[in-house]
């Protein structure tokens, strides 16, 4: 009888371990393509792709073979916290484009909404904006990488240029970021707790 692993395993404390994503992350850390990993494990590239996309579950023995190639074992794979990673790559970024607001939000950390902080890279086209945020008890840090943006805090407006930043602690008024210039603006946004 072949025992298969549930795609999403409940961990202690109620968190979940996404097996497919974690295998993909380990593969990327080793600098292997799906085809290379498949070849070393004597599996098909399609099967590796299905595992990484949580379309199928590997047997225990198959998972052990994959993990051995990736330089780990079952114990470390399941005991290691999902949040223990120290380096994130371009493949981890999730982007959301809003044509109406003329904005692109890139979440730099997987599942950022579940963490204490939510770091994002935001691009606003000319006359673009983020949605308005209601007063809250969190903090927001913004650093402008290029262009300039306008922070609208209640009835007041503050221009923040390239190389400048702002820190809002527990803002008591509605606030919003707009790009009132004719050039594209790009900035880092970190909120704690997550707002988006």
| CATH value at residue 15 | 1.10.260.40
Q: Are residues 129 and 183 in the same domain?
A: yes
Q: Are residues 31 and 97 in the same domain?
A: no
Q: Are residues 107 and 80 in the same domain?
A: no
Q: Is 6 helix (H, G, I), strand (E, B) or coil?
A: coil
CATH number for 132: 2.60.120.10
Residue 1 inside a domain? The answer is: no
pTM of the model: 0.58
Residue 143 inside a domain? The answer is: yes
60, containing H or E segment: helix 60-69
Residue 3 inside a domain? The answer is: no
Last residue of a domain, one of 84, 115, 141: 84
pLDDT in tens, the chain (196 residues): 344 444 444 343 444 567 888 899 899 888 899 999 999 999 999 999 999 998 988 888 899 999 999 988 888 887 754 455 778 899 889 999 999 999 999 999 887 777 778 999 999 999 999 999 999 888 999 999 999 999 999 999 999 999 999 999 999 999 999 999 999 999 999 998 888 7
């Amino acid at each position: 009888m072949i025992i298969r692993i549930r795609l999403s395993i409940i961990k202690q404390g109620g968190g979940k371990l996404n097996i497919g994503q974690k295998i993909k992350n380990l593969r990327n850390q080793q600098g292997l393509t799906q085809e290379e990993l498949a070849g070393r494990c004597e599996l098909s590239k399609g099967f590796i792709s299905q595992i990484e996309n949580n379309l199928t579950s590997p047997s225990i023995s198959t998972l052990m073979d994959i993990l051995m190639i990736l330089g780990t074992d079952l114990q470390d794979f399941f005991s290691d916290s999902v949040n223990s990673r120290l380096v994130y790559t371009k493949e981890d970024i999730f982007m959301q484009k809003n044509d109406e607001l003329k904005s692109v939000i890139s979440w730099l950390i997987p599942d950022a909404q579940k963490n204490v902080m939510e770091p994002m890279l935001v691009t606003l086209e000319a006359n673009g904006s983020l949605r308005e945020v209601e007063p809250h008890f969190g903090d927001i840090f913004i650093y402008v990488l290029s262009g300039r943006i306008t922070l609208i805090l209640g009835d007041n407006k503050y221009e923040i240029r390239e190389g400048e930043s702002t820190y809002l602690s527990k803002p008591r008024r509605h606030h919003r970021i707009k790009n009132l210039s004719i050039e594209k603006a790009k900035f880092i946004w970190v909120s704690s707790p997550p707002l988006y």
